[in-house]
């Protein structure tokens, strides 16, 4: 759980401190204006400011360290200005720990049918009502300032995994130009927030093309930012290709700054990426899969809607403490088949608890100098 501190020691609003290294895997502490959290850490996704099926108090009880919200969605409703008037994300959503906001760059990928890209920015047709929303690097930073997150992201272009190399190259170039504009907007003193209160992370793009990844990383490093993210993965590429990209890119990033892998993923994805030096993760899977009747365990996803669980008295996972953890599978099966909202809520809570425990085990293995063994054991057991 986040421990409240006064903030980092120097003028960077967010700092990462290394505690232990084992191979490329790192354990440390991420200090923010709203608390310090251990890393590697998993950041739960509260797209519109709230976790689906999980209250802020429940998230605190689970020891949730960082929450993530989305610029595009909150700009549409209720609007960044309203969130600001209501005290920013921390007071608005009732979660006083650290927040991170995505820039809206992921929606450039996920809402491709509803947007047009030009050099200045992106014009969206709202997925809610078709209304217009214009995001530029400057507007994305302005919105994120009003939302008040501790960590904000540069506006970027995320190409799909099957994009031709010239398309990926164009996206890398545009991401670099948009990063320079994002940095300039972040470093200006206009409006709330600003570089003394919010940390800006750059995003490295480039698909699975080594020269483009290297070029994007080199450009990002010229800005000397508080943190660096690897984007454009978990968009359709196989795990093996993702690991190749991480093996190339992560060593290019500063050893004294936090490293964030965006949108990833399954428990196996996480432990593989930790082995490659990643410190921060986010993904919708714990709550999304919970709502669909799936609980994560060391053996892989447990699909509780299946008939084989109807009369089972076994718990989901005796090692993970959660409200759902000790309940019989037969009861959870019943709730899900009956369409009771409680079923999905309980599994979402369990999955967040499982992810938190998984990250704690990763940190312990790194500190003990046995991460390679932990990874081998996890690989041998986990099955999708």
- Which sequence positions are flagged as catalytic? 102, 282
Look-up: residue for tokens 């994300």? Answer: 89
Cα distances from 164 to residues 169, 246, 353, in angstroms, run 9, 20, 39
CA distance 148 to 290: 29
Q: At residue 227, what are phi and psi to the nearest 5 degrees?
A: -160, 165
Q: What is the dihedral of CA 82, 83, 84, 87, to 10 degrees?
A: 120
Contact 47, 63 (CB under 8 A): no
Please tell me the distance from the alpha carbon of residue 38 to that of residue 269, in angstroms, as a whole number. Answer: 19
Q: What is the 3-state secondary structure (H, E, C) of 80-134?
A: HHHHHHCCHHHHHCCCCCCEEEECCHHHHHHCHHHEEECCCCEEEECCCCCCEEE
- 198 Cα distance to chain centroid: 17
Q: List residues bridging with 32 in a β-sheet.
A: 35
């Amino acid at each position: 759980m986040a421990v409240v501190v006064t903030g980092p020691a120097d003028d960077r609003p967010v700092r990462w401190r290394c505690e232990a290294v084992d191979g490329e895997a790192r354990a440390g502490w991420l200090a923010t204006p709203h608390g310090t959290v251990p890393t590697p850490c998993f950041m739960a996704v509260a797209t519109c400011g709230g976790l689906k099926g999980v209250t802020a108090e429940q998230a605190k009880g689970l020891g949730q360290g960082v929450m993530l919200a989305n610029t595009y969605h909150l700009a549409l409703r209720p609007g960044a200005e309203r969130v600001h008037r209501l005290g920013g994300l921390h007071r608005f959503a009732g979660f006083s720990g650290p927040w991170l906001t995505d820039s809206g760059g992921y929606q450039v990928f996920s809402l491709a049918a509803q947007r047009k890209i030009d050099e200045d920015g992106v014009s969206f047709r709202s997925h809610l009502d078709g209304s217009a929303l214009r995001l530029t690097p400057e507007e994305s930073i302005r919105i994120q300032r009003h939302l008040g997150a501790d960590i904000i992201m540069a506006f970027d272009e995320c190409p799909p995994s099957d994009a031709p190399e010239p398309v990926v190259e164009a996206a890398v170039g545009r991401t670099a130009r948009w990063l320079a504009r994002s940095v300039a907007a972040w470093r200006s003193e206009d409006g709330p927030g600003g570089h003394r209160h919010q940390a800006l992370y750059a995003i490295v793009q480039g698909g699975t093309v080594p020269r483009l990844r290297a070029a994007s990383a080199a450009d990002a490093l010229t800005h000397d930012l508080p943190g660096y993210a690897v984007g454009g993965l978990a968009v359709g590429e196989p795990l093996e290709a993702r690991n190749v990209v991480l093996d190339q890119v992560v060593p290019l990033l500063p050893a004294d700054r936090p490293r964030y892998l965006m949108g990833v993923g399954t428990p196996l994805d996480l432990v593989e990426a930790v082995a490659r030096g990643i410190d921060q993760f986010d993904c919708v899977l714990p709550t999304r899969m919970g709502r669909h009747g799936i609980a994560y365990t060391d053996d892989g996803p447990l699909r509780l809607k299946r008939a084989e669980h109807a009369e089972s008295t076994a718990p989901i996972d005796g090692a993970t403490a959660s409200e759902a953890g000790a309940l019989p599978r037969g009861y959870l099966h019943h709730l899900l088949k009956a369409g009771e909202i409680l079923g999905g809520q309980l599994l979402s809570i369990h999955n967040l608890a499982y992810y938190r425990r998984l990250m704690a085990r990763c940190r312990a293995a790194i500190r003990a100098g046995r991460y390679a063994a932990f990874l081998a054991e996890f690989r041998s057991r986990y099955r999708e």
